[in-house]
Structure 1
């Protein structure tokens, strides 16, 4: 798996992603615990989580646009450097009067993440050969899995047994470490021709290939079920089997394991069949969600969560690879900016919707409906794909 990193410049981007991700998980666990301890209010905790979504309305498209015009390495280093002092602000919050500091820091850090992600994703295709894109995007899912396992579990241990303040310090230092890794990358400037093209084309979206429009359509609808599923994780782990924090931790760990496994599945696909593979695994994910909703034990639930995450990881790797392969390099940042903005906002909206629905429906029933919706979306995508091919044949 990690042989792809040896002697390859992408390894610096990967290592920076691991460090940043683990630091973010450390901080997230500690921030939520801090707010809960100060206020005792679930609403205040929810507001903190909701505040993280707000920057995604504007900043990903801006980051993507700048990524197409300026040196991506410099943009990423600047973003990490700016986030460093704000990550330390949580250290100075001692009572409820300091909650405004918490919200300010949370929003600024979320702004940095929203701005950073499309730049990072558009950088991958600049560093990686086309024939290796699928494997590298599969490795990106492994990175998320490692962060999920190490960051959440270790972050909880540090915050509980040592001090939340240690978590905040570690998170701030990860921004500096990540910036040092990114500094080892070569300059990632657009060439003059590409910069002129980017500058002149305000209607860049008209030049996107039909397959990219289709992938965007898929990317915009999948977060509906992802948002609901994120809410169900807490209920399945904490309430359904009565395992409380342990159950939640086990399920998140299972998701991380599934993302690592997804690398080995993705690596076996022919890159000409990425779209078909992604649609197939959307169906697999839906089926696994249905089975999970009927699971009789936490052990079987963990196994099914591994399968759900593995299927989702394959889908994500395939779709990201398609975008990187089929998009003009001068528009890649903008495309990822739009994807990051819409998908994160969608997840946020449907997490709220899932929280509302779970008050009216039992968690297992909501999980069943969510799995069925996933399958229905996959069928819709397949029908649109087949219909478009038939239409093209008729007019040709």
Structure 2
């Protein structure tokens, strides 16, 4: 499918863009450690990447609803090129401010880029292909995680950080060029045909989708902190352990594509059930006594998370009005990334008091309890919606009889 579909240009562009960003991230963190020797500087640099999502993702979503999405992607890529190359100017401790400035601006570009990209997918992909395409998006994340992180470390080590920065700058150029042949979006009449199928109570379902995303972001915030702690400290494998665990996540995301692409019928209950399963796997990881078992559990976590992430995005794209997609995806990116950052900060504080295994236990518990409660409220809301529909139908029937 991807070989003939216009989405392929977006997919290839995303691969190049993502791998270049991973190259740069590895090189920047290495550079900061070399110049400052401070773990606080590294943490601050990573924290800066979350801040722009608070305001700029909603802005990116609004821009996507008003302007040509393809050209917005091209502009955000081109805009980031000089800032990606500005790291080349940093060679002393006094120039570290430029690292933070450039990282902040690059994160601003990414905060705008992501909701535009998601809303564009919904306008170039037929409804029946949404699950498969969102599966490709999870595959993209897995490839970037494996190829970008591992290759980025090798490139920075063998050729130096400057070479990695040049590659990142070139990756933005290549990503912008790759997206240029993208065909025009589906015609507005395509979406008009779907308007009669839109849910009357769509705003109510949106609340469920947002809360599902926030529960997932809460789990992921704790999980992101635990990756380094499990690999380096719990199992005493240092950077090698961390690298293997990131490789496990990439492997799981790649595998999730093959599972999600086979699913034909889906909805919020299936997404919630998979969220609960992921929470159980987090609990299992927190109790795992050997590293190979932990590695397999991490693969399973990424696989399940990738599947329900693809299904949830497909659900949004299928049911949301075309003119609202940019705005909604913008706010979703904002809320989930801010929640992710807050949970990472809270997890760091938590680890000063409790063990990593306890944090993993709590993180998994949040997913399980949140998923169960949401399932309960989902069926209550659905029952209430059905009851309201019956009442409205009865009122219409009565009015018709009175007229007769």
Compute the TM-score of the two structures, normalised by the length of structure 2.
Answer: 0.91
Task: Find the counterpart in structure 2 of residue 387 from structure 1.
Answer: 380
Give 3-state SS (helix, strand or coil) of 2:67's partner: coil
The C-alpha deviation readout for 1:10-64, integer Å capped at 9, x for no partner, is: 0000000000000000000111111111111111111101111111111111111
Corresponding residue number in structure 2 for 1:337: 330
Structure 1 unaligned blocks of 5 or more: 195-205
Residue 127 of structure 1 and its aligned partner are, at CA, apart by: 1.2
Q: Does the 8 Å CA contact 2:219/2:363 hold for their aligned counterparts?
A: yes
Q: 1:322-352: per-residue Cα shift (whole Å, max 9, x none)?
A: 1100100000000100000110111011101
Report the secondary structure of 1:314's partner residue.
helix
Cα deviations across residues 201-255 of structure 1 (Å, max 9, x unaligned)?
xxxxx98443233212211232111101100000001111111000000000000
Kindly report which structure 2 residues correspond to 1:10-89, keeping only aligned pairs within 5 A, or say none.
10-89=7-86
Q: Which residue of 1 aligns with 2:208?
A: 214
Which residue is 2:311 aligned to? 318
Post-superposition CA distance 1:169-213 (Å, at most 9, x none) = 101100000000111112459969x9xxxxxxxxxxx98443233
1:131 paired to 2:125: no
Cα contact 1:90–1:105 (8 A) shared by 2: yes
1:82-161 equivalence runs, <5 A:
82-161=79-158
- 2-side partners of 1:68 and 1:140: how far apart? 21
Query: What is the CA RMSD across the aligned residues, in angstroms?
Result: 1.8
Would the aligned equivalents of 2:275 and 2:367 in 1 still touch at CA under 8 Å? yes
Q: Deviations over 1:93-114 (max 9, x none)?
A: 0111101110111011000000
Rg larger for: 2
Are the counterparts in 1 of residues 215 and 366 from structure 2 also a CA contact under 8 Å? no
- The answer on whether the counterparts of 2:124 and 2:186 sit within 8 Å (CA) in structure 1 is no
Task: Determine if contact 2:123/2:186 at 8 Å carries over to the other structure.
Answer: no
Instruction: Determine if contact 2:124/2:184 at 8 Å carries over to the other structure.
Output: no
The residue number in structure 2 matching 1:203 is none
Deviations 1:275-320 (A, max 9, x none): 2221111111111111111111111111000000001001100110
Q: Contact 1:71–1:190 at 8 Å: present in 2 too?
A: no
How many residues align? The count is 381
The verdict on how the C-alpha distance between 1:142 and 1:90 changes in structure 2, with shifts beyond 3 A counting, is same
CA–CA distance in structure 2, aligned partners of residues 88 and 312 of structure 1: 34
Distance 1:282 1:224 in 2: 12
Q: Which residue of 2 aligns with 1:227?
A: 221
Alpha-carbon distance in 2 for matches of 1:326, 1:214: 13
Distance 1:269 1:188, change over 3 A: closer
C-alpha distance in structure 2 between counterparts of 1:379 and 1:110, whole Å = 34
Task: Summarize deviations over 1:254-290 as a string: whole Å, max 9, x none.
Answer: 000001111122122233x232221111111111111
Unaligned residue ranges in structure 2 (runs of 5+): 192-199, 391-404
Could you tell me which residue of structure 1 aligns to residue 258 of structure 2? 264
Kept in 1, the 8 Å contact 2:212–2:272? The answer is: no
SS of 2:267 mapped into structure 1: helix
When residues 244 and 296 of structure 1 are mapped into structure 2, their CA distance, relative to the original with a 3 A threshold, is same
Structure 1 range deviating more: 342-351 or 218-227: 218-227
